[in-house]
Amino acid sequence: MLERLNQALDHLETCLDREIDVAEVARIAAVSEYHFRRLFSALAGMPLPVYVRRRRMTLAGAEVLARERTLLDVAVRYGYGSGEAFARAFRSVHGIGPGEARLTGAVLTSQPRMSFRVVVEGTTTMRYRIVEKESFRVVGRKATVPLVHEGANAAAAAHLESLDEQTIVRMKGLADREPEGILSAAVHLTDSREEGAEVDYWVGVVTGPEAAAKDLDALDVPAGTWAVFDNHGPYPSALQELWRDVFTQWFPSTPYTSRPGPELLRTRPVKTGAQTDSQLWIPVERGSGSAQA
């Protein structure tokens, strides 16, 4: 898969001076557009549109300083219909407008071309199984929280603490299928997996698709395939490392790709640094391409 991902990046590089067909880029990678965007964000540490803008502005910056084209010509070449839109994008990357850069010969910022490879660090033991699951419903309470890659997520913890005992008892009474008990579900609102990106964060239980959920929020989840990872380690760092490794090591090394759906986590929150057992469910499907390391 990594070879195909790098071929896709090579193709993307040839399209920086025109509109990019992300579906075609994903086709070269032999994955869905959804999975390509998610995987790119996890591997690169930034969403695909941010990388594309930075690469375009890197090339545009060199042309601005070369003075061989007018600023409007440079703007049009890199897909901007007006000098104002180009100037905003240029300033967001370089911290200075193109006109000022040309006049002062300012130092600009460069975004290098990316290529991907797997570095196996051995930090997380990735035990997993593949589960085919019928449609179900997550019933509980929902809040929108930011992603936190290291340390405790204060917003998620506050949401959990806001649940009264009566609500928790009601939710437990509805739980009737795997994964059992109180769990959390994360629905990503964008392609980004950057620190601070927003997700809909559910605390609830898994129950049947027709289960009544009076006064509770409900998330209907269609039937599909899930990769289930068992994890044991210090809370929450072991979990955060597992989440990272699923996207940066497991997906690039297997024939599976991600698909739309909530990421489910069953764990027992404990004092920071204490050991705990957890189970992470990621919605997946078998990709069309073969896995390559």
Characterise 145 by phi-psi region: left (phi > 0), alpha (psi -120 to 50), beta (else).
Answer: beta
One of 3.10.450.50, 1.10.10.60, 1.10.3210.10, 3.30.420.590 is the CATH number of 2-104, namely 1.10.10.60
Q: How far apart are CA 7 and CA 271, in angstroms?
A: 45
- Asked whether the beta carbons of 143 and 157 are under 8 A apart, the reply is no
Structure token pair of residue 157: 């913890």
Q: Could you tell me where in the chain the CATH 1.10.10.60 domains are found?
A: 2-104
Spans of the chain below 50 pLDDT: 122, 289-293
CA angle 226, 117, 246 (to 5 degrees): 20
Closest CA to 124 of 269, 43, 244, 44: 244
| Domain 127-286 grouped into CATH 2.40.430.10 | no
Q: pTM of the prediction?
A: 0.75
Domain with CATH 3.20.80.10 in the chain: 127-286
pLDDT given at position 183: 95
CA distance 25 to 15: 10
Q: What's the CA gap between 162 and 83, in Å, rounded?
A: 49
Strand positions, DSSP E, 189-223: 198-207, 217-221
Instruction: Measure the CA–CA gap between 33 and 17, rounded to whole angstroms.
Output: 21
